[in-house]
Chains A and B, each alone.
Chain A
Amino acid sequence: MEVILFYFCGALMVIAGAMMVLSRNAVVAACWLIFAFINAAGIYATLSAPFLAVLQVLVYAGAIMVLFLFVVMMLQGPVLAGERRRLRPWLWPFLLLPPLAILLTVAGFLRRADNTSFPVAAPAGFGSAEQVAGLLLSRYLLAFELISIVLIVAIIGSLALGKVDRRQPWK
């Protein structure tokens, strides 16, 4: 069951990611990304991380992507105009260098790892909201508080950036 779910969601996620990069239209790209994030929730489910799976759908596919779609549709005209200038042809071979470096790094790690199979069964309740919250509010309490400051700074920053200056006419 887990095997089927992993291959199904994994394949769909890679396809959706590729389609996002390849689609000219930004709205279509955002929709493919939402699809990829929903499949990521399935991947989390196979990792016995139900809480993360729920949050992936709620936060990523829900909140963040709605924000993206909202902005794309607000700036619709030029965003949909597409990108006529492509990368120069002589630059294409250089595109292969960073992927090659990353692939070699991962392959090197996997060659050195002798046993990569998971422990047979996760203990009961592993990854449930109760256990993650217990850890979040005890050992990682400082990080939890700091992340709230990050969010508040982000809220204030985006408010300050988005404020329209009434003295200057809308150009």
Chain B
Amino acid sequence: MEITLTHYLVLATLLFLTGMLGFIVRRNAIVMLMCIELMLCAANIVLAAFSRWHLDLGGHVFVLMSFAVAAAEAAIGLAILVEIYRRRRTVNVDELTTLME
């Protein structure tokens, strides 16, 4: 029994699909952001797996970049959500259909 690249790709695919379906089904904007984080994590696993496959550390460097982008995205996204909540008293995307108040 041996763990191959296929195992990691299948795992990352499952995680990505979970995140994607969650993003489509859920209506709570904060949980939708969490689903984006899960999808980013799946992409990171693929990067690390291919990095191991090629024995090239470039993939690890790009996972680090992805960490930084995920942190920036979470900070900005949550700041926008807090501001939306201040104005509209909801974070349900079904009710946030207009840009103006």
Q: Which residues of chain A have a CB within 8 Å of any CB of chain B?
A: 2-3, 6, 10, 13-14, 17-18, 20-21, 26, 29-30, 33, 36-37, 40, 43-44, 46-49, 51-52, 55, 59-60, 63-64, 67-68, 71-72, 74-75, 78-79, 83, 85, 87, 95, 98-99, 102-103, 106, 109-110, 113, 116-119, 122-123, 126-127, 131-132, 135-136, 139-140, 143, 147, 150-151, 153-155, 157-158, 161-162, 164, 170-171
Contacts and interface: CB of A to CB of B under 8 A. Distances in A.
Contacts, number: 222
Please report whether the interface of chain B is mostly helix, strand, loop or mixed according to DSSP: helix
Contacts of B83: 161-162
Contact of B57 (A44, A74, A127, A170): A127
A78 B60 CA distance: 39
B30 A75 contact: yes
Nearest to A106: B13
A81 B55 CA distance: 48
Nearest to B92: A83
12 contacts: A3-B3, A21-B26, A43-B8, A67-B75, A72-B30, A117-B2, A127-B51, A139-B58, A154-B73, A161-B79, A162-B79, A171-B86
Contacts of A110: 6, 9
Q: Which 5 interchain pairs have the tightest Cβ spacing?
A: A154-B72, A21-B22, A158-B79, A161-B79, A116-B5
